[in-house]
Amino acid sequence: MKIVDLKATTVSVPLEAPLRHSNGEHWGRFVRTIVEVVTDEGLIGLGEMGGGGESAELQFQGLKPYLIGHDPFDLEGLRFKICNPTASLYNNRTQLMAAIEFACLDLIGQSLDLPVHKFLGGKLRDEIPFASYLFFRYESDDGLYPEVRTVEQLINHTRELKEKYGFQTHKLKAGVFPPKYELEAYQALAQAFPEDSFRIDPNACWSVEQSIWFARQIEDFPNDYLEDPTWGLNGMRRVRENTTIPLATNTVVVNFEQLAQNVLHPAVDVILLDTTFWGGIRACIKAAAVCETFQLGTAVHSSGELGIQLSTMLHLGAVLPNLSFAIDAHYHHLRDDLIVGGKLEMVNGKLKVPEGPGLGVTLDRDKLAHYAELYRKLGSYPYDRDSRRKGWYPLLPNERWADPEE
């Protein structure tokens, strides 16, 4: 089996409402690039990458000379072709590699008539638990989804998600309002749902001192972990030395050199593996093995996935013996998906591991065309801007946050 073509299509898929975070907001939609790898046997493997537009599509087109004629089974050779890990000046293609790897694993599975998890070690679980992903958000433009700004609104929103999807773990995206206000919100969540567990992530926008203060206020809560309260391995190490709460990251340990440093000089307790950021499912499995060896916790991070990448997260979660926590996912915020059958159904806070050949999902061509056209109409958006707060830029630690009652 040989690769004969590569196609990349950027799409814009609507969210229920614009989600706010410390760097700006998701402007009511996710922009993703869908990758199709075509073989001489007529099989098509699916991949997905965050972001997109002309630049992403051109980057994938630039990979075609490396891919044409390559056997999808030869993934290590492909990694050297794309990422060139022996020449660090050119090793800037990790996320591109991830999307191609997804597609090649999908092709291998289709060729063998096996689900991906079957040839990545075999699944250890049939269902994967997920955490609700709680955002402060703006009201949707069509008025169907209300804002989440006050503590009461946050509690109501969490209750609705829990009733609809069955979540037993909740993650609050912080860094939008002052830390004291977000502490009040986090405390209220823990009191409202005493049977559940919690985690909070301000996207590293707090100073070390703010992070230590916040951590000490919540040490008696049922916390999974405190995620990226501040920036950098040294900053995280200082926080870790001053709290009993495990620290987690998806920003400062995202490759093997950083993982080695964290083993030698611990700064983070839980590594949040991301099938895109780490360069594919296989890289995440390798990293998880290192974490198992050195008794670091592991979980799976969400980078704003559609159904294709979500399936890679499910196959990864299925084969990891040391998956310590419920998986993160933005998925429940989506209004639609590009896969046949629409959004995967979550029951009791869990998703079933796909059992079809390859990734186990099929592209809905009509929806691909529809959301590609929506992207051409709306275009991209700056991630580090807030469309409803004119002139807003990401805050530095100790700068003034907006009053949540404004």
pLDDT tens for 289-337 read 999 999 999 999 999 999 999 999 999 999 999 999 999 999 999 999 9
Take residue 96 and report the two structure tokens written for it.
């591109």
For the chain, the distance separating the N- and C-terminal CA atoms, rounded to the nearest angstrom, is 60
Strands 29-39 and 3-14, by their bridges, are antiparallel
pLDDT tens for 53-86 read 888 899 999 999 989 999 999 999 988 888 876 6
In which band, very low, low, confident or very high, does the pLDDT at 397 lie, cut at 50, 70 and 90? low
Cα 383 to chain center, whole Å? 15
Please report the pLDDT score of residue 384 as a whole number: 84
pLDDT tens for 329-362 read 999 999 999 999 999 999 999 999 999 999 999 9
Residue ranges in 245-378 assigned as alpha helix (H): 256-264, 281-293, 307-319, 365-378
In which band, very low, low, confident or very high, does the pLDDT at 198 lie, cut at 50, 70 and 90? very high
Q: CA-to-CA distance for 350 and 127, rounded, in angstroms?
A: 6
In which band, very low, low, confident or very high, does the pLDDT at 401 lie, cut at 50, 70 and 90? low
**Residue 333 and residue 16 in contact, taking contact as beta carbons nearer than 8 Å:** yes
Q: Is the pLDDT of residue 88 over 80?
A: no
In which band, very low, low, confident or very high, does the pLDDT at 402 lie, cut at 50, 70 and 90? low
Instruction: State which amino acid sits at residue 330.
Output: H
Q: So which residues are the catalytic ones?
A: 173, 301
Please report the pLDDT score of residue 400 as a whole number: 55
- Which domains, from first to last, does the chain contain? 3-113+364-378 (3.30.390.10), 118-352 (3.20.20.120)
